[in-house]
A and B are shown apart, each in its own frame.
Chain A
Amino acid sequence: MAMDRTLRLRRTPSPRPMTLATTATAVSVEQLVKRYDEVEAVRGIEFEVQSGEIFGFLGPNGAGKSTTINMLCTLVRPSGGSAHVAGHDVVTERDEVRRNIGLVFQDTTLDGYLTAEQNLRLHAELYGVPREAVLPRMTQVMEMVGLWDRRGSLVNTFSGGMKRRLEIARGLLHSPRVLFLDEPTVGLDPQTRSSIWSYIRELKSREDITIFLTTHYMDEAEYCDRIAIMDQGRIIVLDTPEALKASVGKDRVQIQTDDDAQAIRSLKEHFGIEATVAEGMVTFGVGEGEHFVPRLFAELGQPIRSVNVSRPSLDDVFMSYTGTTIRDAESGATDQRRKAARMMSGGR
């Protein structure tokens, strides 16, 4: 009796509304909230992602990025608010959402005891890819990530970067409208990271797809069309990387001294500059860094051991909106929150 339940409860297939293909909004989120027992991981966020965008979620570990992505992927039920992906509600139209999204998680979800090809074929079967389309599509996505020649190898023999590439290929196999990448480059060496990014950009030029990703690498966020900075469960700011950098405006100066507290006092007294300690260095922003540094040496009244001037980067954007650098925010993120993020990424 339990066996034929599978068959009996099936729904009549509803024709796919073709208008959705041209819907301008790929993801829309309203007042989305997720609470775990004691922790409010996501505290009422709102945003929209346009079709064809590369949209980045930026923030330290534990900021609520993974929780948000998991809600959008129907893996975690929101505690409040609503979200639509590819035009479908993530709570009431779970299957429709799933059919329209590709997923690449932080941790690998490949079966290491199967070959690359077997992993992809399994995925094709689970997603109901039409039989005659499996081979051409599989060839295409595997060639794209440069793994076609290794299709017969056991996934266990793959390096971390190869596994990630294979997961991206698998995520694309059923031609999703939205590809979710949760920290796609975490734990990879710089060279592999940049190759993953070249696949992502190539993908955007080739397929009609929206890419939604999370990262805590500032340099990677630069590749996104728009980014949302998330901290402590809230979206703090959302714009293009250029606009965000322009909003900060100033150059960033970092100096190393023997007495940081004294240096901060002197900066305030002599120059009227508010400085803070970030990443172990006295950090502050000024209009034109190069011209300021000579004055600094002359007037600070204490030895400076090193100095570093940089143009505004996303780090500075993050800093100016959250009052801390992403690395410091990360070391400050409570284990509690990390645990919460872990728990739900664990799949239960």
Chain B
Amino acid sequence: MATPTAIEPQQQEPDPAGGHKVAAVRVPTRTSRGELRAIKVVWKRELIRFRRDPLRILTSLMQPFLFLFVLGTGLSRTASAGTHGVNFKTFVYPGVLCMAVMFTAMFSAASLVWDREFGFLREMMVAPVRRSSLVLGKCLGGATVAGFQGVIVLLLAPLVHVPYGVTWIAEVFAIQLLLAFTITTFGVMVAARVTQMQSFMALMQMAIMPMFFLSGALFPVRGLPRWLEILNRIDPLTYAVDPIRRVVFANLEISGEARAVLVPGVTWWGWRVPTIVEVAVLAALGLIMLAVAIVQFSRAE
């Protein structure tokens, strides 16, 4: 701590009105330490606000629950012909793990639109810190609260016939955090441009629903019609659902036949993409969008 951060003992003489002594503070010039404090406080604000809003926790869980228990249960009989004895709910579970974090991450980014509308964004924009610190704090905050949401769905594992295990839960959680970060940066990038809440929500729905349906959350990704296969491979969510499914299914005792059909893995021109590359795709995308969001917010007056 080399910066001049000490309180200046500028205890001025008591003023004639008999008021308090002035404890003036000295604000140091910009340092990386100061930027870290800014990142941390923006991150922390997300957490405080999330904790204050239990309704949001519930509403964000609504959609994953519907897919898992209503769609999953409803389709399990029909689907049983193709799943080689694996419960359909188990098959859908990795997709739902992704979905759980997606919605919360999206709402976190949406709060930026509110912040602009209610003026709070201004308080952050005029602070003597880099815009990149604000954007990064926001994205990390969104990822953290979304990750918390992901944990809730992770805890449901036994209900869909997946036994608990430390390793797979840790691995899945890491991918969930990464996905949540990427989705938040996407939302923040959009929020830099879109100033109306309605437009923002409509845009996010328009992006997220197709992403979810194309991702292979609800079907195996091999043997698809050409058009669907192409769309599936360019859908970023594919690279979150597939590694999570691999991790979850690696932990299950199922027939090799079932494994081949249900967890075929994503291929690029016949090459089976390794998990590490899939995760890298997701991370790269998140970083690129983060860079774009930072540039946009740095330009904004």
Alpha-carbon separation in the docked complex, A130 to B288 (Å): 34
Number of A-B contacts (CB under 8 A): 177
Question: Does B40 sit at the interface, judged by CB under 8 A?
Answer: yes
Report which B residues bind A (CB closer than 8 A): 3-7, 12, 15-17, 19-20, 22-32, 34-35, 37-41, 45, 48-49, 52-53, 115-116, 118-130, 132-133, 136, 195, 287-288, 290-291, 294, 300-301
Known A99-B128, A103-B126, A112-B118; contact A126-B38, beta-carbon cutoff 8 A: yes
Neighbour of B300 across the interface among A1, A125, A207, A348, CB < 8 A: A348
Question: Does A298 sit at the interface, judged by CB under 8 A?
Answer: no
Neighbour of A175 across the interface among B26, B34, B124, B126, CB < 8 A: B26
Question: Does A140 sit at the interface, judged by CB under 8 A?
Answer: yes
Interface-lining segment among A10-18, A218-226, A228-236:
A10-18
Residues of A within 8 A of B6 (CB): 130
A128 pairs with B45, CB closer than 8 A: no
Alpha-carbon separation in the docked complex, A346 to B121 (Å): 10
B24 pairs with A127, CB closer than 8 A: no
Interface-lining segment among A58-66, A72-80, A185-193, A320-328:
A72-80
A95 pairs with B128, CB closer than 8 A: yes
Known A95-B30, A202-B17; contact A125-B40, beta-carbon cutoff 8 A: yes
Residues of A within 8 A of B124 (CB): 126
A344 pairs with B31, CB closer than 8 A: no
A175 pairs with B27, CB closer than 8 A: yes
Known A13-B31, A75-B125, A348-B195; contact A137-B287, beta-carbon cutoff 8 A: no
Neighbour of B119 across the interface among A105, A118, A143, CB < 8 A: A105
A174 pairs with B27, CB closer than 8 A: yes
List A324-347 residues whose CB lies under 8 Å from chain B: 344, 346-347
Neighbour of B301 across the interface among A75, A114, A136, CB < 8 A: A75
Question: Does A302 sit at the interface, judged by CB under 8 A?
Answer: no
A347 pairs with B34, CB closer than 8 A: no
Question: Does A24 sit at the interface, judged by CB under 8 A?
Answer: no
List A1-56 residues whose CB lies under 8 Å from chain B: 1-3, 5-7, 9-11, 13-16
Residue of B nearest to A344 (CB): B301
Q: Which 4 A-B pairs have the closest CB atoms?
A: A125-B41, A126-B127, A98-B128, A2-B291
Question: Does A113 sit at the interface, judged by CB under 8 A?
Answer: yes
Question: Does A208 sit at the interface, judged by CB under 8 A?
Answer: yes
B25 pairs with A174, CB closer than 8 A: yes
Q: 1/0 per position for A244-277, CB-CB distance to B under 8 A?
A: 0000000000000000000000000000000000
Known A2-B294, A109-B120, A347-B116; contact A208-B24, beta-carbon cutoff 8 A: yes
Q: List 9 A-B contacts (CB under 8 A).
A: A5-B132, A13-B30, A128-B37, A175-B27, A202-B17, A207-B24, A346-B195, A347-B116, A348-B195
Nearest CB of A to B242, in Å: 25
B25 pairs with A125, CB closer than 8 A: no
Known A13-B30, A99-B128, A175-B25; contact A202-B119, beta-carbon cutoff 8 A: no
Known A109-B120, A347-B300; contact A13-B126, beta-carbon cutoff 8 A: no
Neighbour of A127 across the interface among B15, B16, B27, B115, CB < 8 A: B27
Nearest CB of A to B265, in Å: 28
Q: 1/0 per position for A94-108, CB-CB distance to B under 8 A?
A: 011011000101011
Residues of B within 8 A of A137 (CB): 23, 25
Residues of A within 8 A of B20 (CB): 140, 143-144, 206
Neighbour of B125 across the interface among A133, A208, A347, CB < 8 A: A347
A128 pairs with B28, CB closer than 8 A: yes
